[in-house]
Structure 1
Amino acid sequence: MQAAVVDHTEVYRLPWSLTDNAISWLEPTALCNLYCDGCYRMNEKDSHKSLDVVKQELDTFQKLRNSDCISIAGGDPLLHPQILDIVADVKRRGLKPIVNTNGKALTMELLKDLKKAGVYGFTFHVDSKQGRDGKWAGKTEIELNALRQEYADMLAKVGGISCSFNSTVYEDTMQYMPDMLNWAHRNIDIVHTMVFIAYREVIPDMPFDWYAGGQKVDWDKIWYHTDRKRDINISALHMLQKARETHPEFMPCGYLNGTEIPDSFKWMLNVRVGTKEKIFGFMGPKFIELVMTGYHWFTGKYLSYASPKETRIGRTALMFLWMLDKGARKAAGRFFTNPLNWFKRLHFQTVMFIQPVDFTKHGGQSMCDSCPDITVWNGQLVWSCRLEELKKYNTFLKSVPKD
């Protein structure tokens, strides 16, 4: 599998940290109405947290972590009977409530109620390995673009809500990424972010033993394991290379590195600018540096999700930033040299590649440094993607090379 080559020193390292981060991850329930292949969370009935507990976790975030938004996840948070109250409380605290959902429980009536409660945006998880039923059963990623379109159109009809999609990328579904990116381009006016997350699980032939403290744990007792030999080494650079089949100039402007592998791209941020008909370019590192530092200067926080109003100011942004950023300069040259473009609305669209845990040969687990998806467990900030380890063993598992 071919991977792109990118020098991390030429990309802006996002300034996020454990205590000053754009995002925090709230899980009011572990109940879900789908089962996604490779899901890192156990689907639990009777797992709805009370509103008081949810508020306590939000208090912990605000005590320990400075964030721009709260990703309300799970499970599927739309199944929580007090989801409207949760959204309203996040909004009341001056944070952006983002609902992370598979969308199955979303109706137009609920969407309107969520907007009244103060919802800022949605991230819909849609991919072909979710076990969806009805007319979406067995559909490919390309065919599921029709479902993505339904959700995007719902949000656009209500208006004023940020719209994002994420999908897990498997060895047999990576081939569809160019088509998914082309769909997102055609909807650049109403789809603001696309996120691709590399598949990870514990597989049989990994050269490690697993320990919870001093207790050895059988690999097949770990919640996120699979009996099949599968590719768990898909990286952000592999996904970038696949994206370049759609646009050869695809280039990241920002990233987060790994805790064990400093030159890795754990979160790779790409920002493209264009109309529904044409992508004019990709923003460079100076652009995202100006966005992050400027937003932090004025608000005291780092930017996470942008509103639909903010993503459609591409033309104005290019006029003021072309001198400061190489990517903006190239895009501005292509856009403004044709007078027919001058009155077209230009949109920004973010494309993110996420590369979960990687293992070094010595057993080191390279997590996302300054991870945005940090959640609360027993009053502490912990990685949400490994919460099942804490729930079962009261500690994170260690991987030790086999003799």
Structure 2
Amino acid sequence: MIRMPWNNQTAPNLMLEVTDACNADCKVCYKKKGDRFKSLKEVQNDIESAMSIRKLHTITISGGEPTLHPELCSIITMISEKGLHAFLLTNGVLVDNDYLVRMKESGLDSILFHVETNQERSDLPLNQTEREARTRLRNLIYMAKNADLDVSMSMTFYDGDMISLASTAHFFLNNPDLTFLFIARGQDVERLHAEGQKNCSSGKLDDVIRFFKADYNIEPFSYIPATGGKGTVWISYFVPIIYSKGGKKLFRIRSTALDSWLMELPRIITGRYIHKTTQKTFVTMARVFVNSMASIRPHLFVTFLWNALKKTSVLRHKMIVYDDGPHYTEDGNLIKCEYCPTGIVRGQDVLCCCTADYGNQNMEACL
């Protein structure tokens, strides 16, 4: 597992909050709900601030629920015209074919849907079953793919619920239309900061690592260290998969120094890192090839390549991120990412997304 080469200045992504209003209620949320919508002038200022702070590849549009913003398509265009990748986080309640097409035409590149049980939302029954939530998610994925968007999903990992984790991983890895799975540990952030030292959660990182190793024989590809050198709170997986009539075949990746070099290459050429790669078969094969050069079993790459080139095969890469979230140690220290890869732009500052709304001690800029 290699350390991500980013830092506070070079991490290629920032989060743009366009509203704090939301049309769904989740079991826990790191955001405080409100009713404010930013003007286009405010959004423009945030984009310019973001670009002055970091060498950006992507701006992630968030809320609240960003699809509530009446000028969302104009905001997407503002991002796209800056030459940046526009990535939208949404619960999907208001999403339909027409809205997706309009967002795509405005310059949207990628979309992530957060649809799961433990949500109160108008497009699903109260206390919906997993099957009902999955059906809605499948419909959203289908519409987004038809709009030519790169599609991702997220889940909240509550209280070590391994059954839900297993179900979500199965759904994600068996769906070739999904690129990215974001898993966030369910943390009542408001209660965490209110209780402070009394809440001494140590996180669930090891449980997640053990699960993916046992069920899929895959290991974390990279990590972001925690503040103060106190372990790791953020890990990612890179998983090439071949889909065919016979099922799926995963290629096991073990990161090496060559992978670190490959991450550095875009920065050397363009001056910025890549945040999240979309599906490009050649790029996926190149990454597998580079990784295989440091492998003691390069013949596995040849076999994988042979299978990937078959007419009945479809090659995809999958990315999984697990964020263990903020937690306090027994001595009262707040542990979070050394820098926030999804930091929130507020004025001239970048704030850590999971702590930005709570407490003066945690409102310090990440920079």
TM-score, structure 1 normalization: 0.81
Paired residue total: 359
Q: Does 1:355 align with 2:345?
A: no
Equivalent residue number for residue 180 of structure 1: 168
Q: Which residue, out of 102, 126, 144, partners 2:91? A: 102
Spell out the pairing of 1:278-297 with structure 2 (5 A cutoff): 278-286=248-256, 288-297=259-268
User: How big is the alpha-carbon RMSD for the aligned residues of Structure 1 and Structure 2?
Assistant: 2.8
Q: Which residue of 1 aligns with 2:349?
A: 380
**Partners of 1:338 and 1:50 in 2: CA distance:** 51
Q: Which moved more, 1:129-138 or 1:21-30?
A: 129-138
**Change in CA separation of 1:254 and 1:293 when aligned onto 2, cut-off 3 Å:** same
Q: Give the secondary-structure state (helix, strand or coil) at the position aligned to 1:260.
A: helix
Alpha-carbon distance in 1 for matches of 2:332, 2:200 = 18
Match of 2:24 in 1: 34
Contact 1:24 1:70 in 2 (8 A): yes
| Structure 1 residue 182, shift from structure 2 partner | 1.6
Query: Relative to structure 1, is the Cα distance of residues 313 and 373 closer, same or farther in structure 2, using a 3 angstrom cutoff?
Result: closer
**Contact 1:272-1:281 at 8 Å conserved across structures:** yes
Partner Cα separation in structure 2 for residue 296 and residue 121 of structure 1: 21
Amino acid in structure 2 at the alignment position of 1:107: D
Q: Residues 356 and 363 of structure 2 are in contact (CA less than 8 Å); yes or no, is this contact kept in structure 1?
A: no
2:276 & 2:348 partners in 1: Cα distance? 26
The structure-2 alpha-carbon separation of the partners of 1:330 and 1:125, relative to structure 1 and needing over 3 Å to count, comes to farther
**8 Å Cα contact 1:254-1:268 kept in structure 2:** yes
Moved more, 119-128 or 78-87: 119-128
Q: Structure 1 129/381 Cα, relative in aligned 2: closer, same or farther at 3 Å? A: same
State the SS of the aligned residue for 1:388: coil
User: Does the CA contact (< 8 Å) of 1:273 and 1:314 recur in 2?
Assistant: yes
Q: 2:234 aligns to what?
A: 267
Shift of 1:278: 1.9
Deviation, 1:62, is 1.0
The answer to whether the 8 A contact 2:180-2:319 is kept is yes
| 1:290 Cα deviation from its structure 2 partner | 3.8
Cα distance in 2, alignment partners of residues 263 and 383 from structure 1: 18
What is the CA distance between 1:85 and its match in structure 2? 0.8
Is the contact made by 2:292 and 2:301 (CA closer than 8 Å) also made in structure 1? no
CA distance in 2, matches of 1:122, 1:149: 14
* Equivalent position amino acid for 2:341 in 1: P
In 2 relative to 1, CA 98–330 (structure 1 residues): closer, same or farther, beyond 3 Å? Answer: farther
* 1:324–1:29 CA distance, 2 compared to 1 (3 A): same
1:172 Cα deviation after fit: 6.2
Q: Distance between the aligned counterparts of 2:90 and 2:137, measured in 1?
A: 12
Distance 1:330 1:15, change over 3 A: farther
After superposition, the C-alpha distances for 1:312-367 in whole angstroms (9 at most, x for unaligned) are 7544554x425424399475255257699576232111111111112222211111
Q: CA contact under 8 A between 2:19 and 2:64: conserved in structure 1?
A: yes
- In 2, Cα distance between the equivalents of 1:384 and 1:323? 36
Q: Determine the C-alpha separation between the residues in 2 that align with 1:133 and 1:328.
A: 51
Which whole-Å CA distance do the structure 1 matches of 2:297 and 2:77 have between them? 37
CA contact (8 A) 2:59 2:84 kept: yes
Per the alignment, in what secondary structure is the counterpart of residue 282 of structure 1?
coil
Whether the 8 Å contact between 2:18 and 2:63 is mirrored in structure 1 is: yes
Per the alignment, in what secondary structure is the counterpart of residue 137 of structure 1? coil
Structure 2 unaligned regions, length at least 5: none
1:364 correspondence with 2:353:
no
- Whole-angstrom distance in 1 between the partners of 2:146 and 2:68: 23
CA distance in 2, matches of 1:18, 1:328: 36
Cα distance in 2 for residues equivalent to 1:42 and 1:336: 48
Q: Give the C-alpha shift of residue 59 in structure 1.
A: 1.0
Q: 1:106 to 1:339 in 2, by over 3 A?
A: closer
What SS does the corresponding residue of 2:6 show, helix, strand or coil?
Answer: coil
Q: 1:345 to 1:397 in 2, by over 3 A?
A: closer
Structure 1: distance between partners of 2:347 and 2:306: 57
1:78 aligns with 2:47: no
Matches within 5 A, 1:242-321: 242-247=211-216, 249-264=217-232, 266-276=233-243, 277-286=247-256, 288-308=259-279, 310=280, 313-315=283-285, 317-318=287-288, 320-321=289-290
The answer to whether 1:199 aligns with 2:166 is: no
Identity among equivalent positions (%) equals 20
Q: Is the 8 A contact 1:280 1:334 kept in 2?
A: no
Tell me, in whole angstroms, the C-alpha distance in 2 between the residues paired with 1:103 and 1:327: 44
Unaligned stretches of 5+ residues in structure 1: 1-10, 211-217, 223-228, 399-403
2:62 and 2:223 map into 1 onto residues whose CA distance is 23
Specify whether residues 72 and 279 from structure 1 end up closer, same or farther in structure 2 by C-alpha distance, changes over 3 A only.
same
Residue pair 2:56, 2:84 contacting (<8 A) in 1 also:
yes
Structure 1 distance, partners of 2:62, 2:286, is: 34
- 1:165 and 2:165 are equivalent in the alignment: no
Q: Once the two structures are superposed, what CA deviation does each residue of 1:230-268 show, in whole Å capped at 9, x if it has no partner?
A: 995432221122233431x1201111010134432x221
Change over 3 Å in CA distance of 1:54–1:336 after alignment to 2: closer
